[in-house]
Homo-oligomer: A and B are copies of this chain.
Amino acid sequence: MADSAEPPKLRRSIGARRNPATEAAILAAARDLIAERGYAGFSIEEVARRAGAGKPTIYRWWPTKADLFLTIYRAEKASTIVIPGRGDLVLDLTDYTLALWRFWRTNPAGVAFRALVAEAQADAQALVLLRDRFLPERRVPMRALLTAAAERGEISPDDIDRRVTLWIAFIWYRLLTATLAEDRDEVAAYMRLIVGRIEPR
């Protein structure tokens, strides 16, 4: 959109603009490296080597290892799970929570997410990325899910943002204590408490 005012000849320049083939090679190398070595063995240096790209190029597009990782994580998650919308909040949240936990247990990028949370405890850049960029975007679809449920009368319209926080806190707690079990009834019970479902009279 913003490109429309730009002279056509600039379209072929390199520099800040990403070269799609290079970008694809970097992302493929990053994805493979995470699958092979997890977050601990993931480095910009090794991605550059495998992709045949310059380290400065990668650092220009992804300032830190955590940035590049989150690009892979988002893509893997988006291609693996969707936020359900069956029209029953507790059911939808239970399905989504279980699907996300399965992703965290089985997808290499999902498994590595736990290590990023750990890294953010010692690395201020990773913390800012996780807290101020990743989590706010993460909240948007969850807020929409709860808002729709409030409009249907399933929950109160108050405190929706806090309830989204409690949901994230709960799923992280289970991640960080390595207790991502497939206990559907138990998860549903937590979802009811978190959203404060209004019981039909």
| CB atoms of B169 and A173 under 8 A apart | yes
The answer to whether the Cβ of A168 comes within 8 Å of any Cβ in the partner chain is: yes
The answer to whether the Cβ of A114 comes within 8 Å of any Cβ in the partner chain is: yes
The answer to whether the Cβ of A182 comes within 8 Å of any Cβ in the partner chain is: no
Number of copies of this chain in the oligomer?
2
**Contacts A172-B173, A173-B168 given: A190-B162 contact, CB under 8 Å?**
yes
Docked pose: A130 CA to B118 CA in angstroms = 15
| CB atoms of B40 and A122 under 8 A apart | yes
The answer to whether the Cβ of A4 comes within 8 Å of any Cβ in the partner chain is: no
Q: Is the interface of A mostly helix, strand, loop or mixed?
A: helix
Across-interface contacts of A117 in B (CB, < 8 A): 118, 121, 176
Across-interface contacts of A121 in B (CB, < 8 A): 114-115, 117-118, 176
The answer to whether the Cβ of A45 comes within 8 Å of any Cβ in the partner chain is: no
Of all chain B residues, which has the CB nearest A130? Answer: B177
Across-interface contacts of A131 in B (CB, < 8 A): 177-179
**Contacts A121-B114, A159-B189, A196-B193 given: A176-B172 contact, CB under 8 Å?**
yes
The answer to whether the Cβ of A170 comes within 8 Å of any Cβ in the partner chain is: yes
**Contacts A162-B189, A169-B172, A196-B193 given: A122-B127 contact, CB under 8 Å?**
no
The residues in A between 106 and 152 inclusive whose CB is less than 8 angstroms from any CB of B are 114-115, 117-122, 127, 130-131, 135
Of all chain B residues, which has the CB nearest A178? Answer: B127
The residues in A between 159 and 190 inclusive whose CB is less than 8 angstroms from any CB of B are 159, 162-163, 165-166, 168-170, 172-173, 176-179, 189-190
The answer to whether the Cβ of A194 comes within 8 Å of any Cβ in the partner chain is: yes
Docked pose: A127 CA to B131 CA in angstroms = 23
CB contact between A115 and one of B122, B135, B178, B190 (< 8 Å): that residue:
B122
Q: Would you list 15 pairs from A and B whose C-beta atoms are within 8 A, ordered by A residue? A: A115-B122, A117-B121, A118-B119, A118-B122, A121-B176, A131-B178, A135-B177, A163-B193, A165-B190, A166-B166, A166-B169, A169-B169, A172-B172, A172-B173, A176-B176
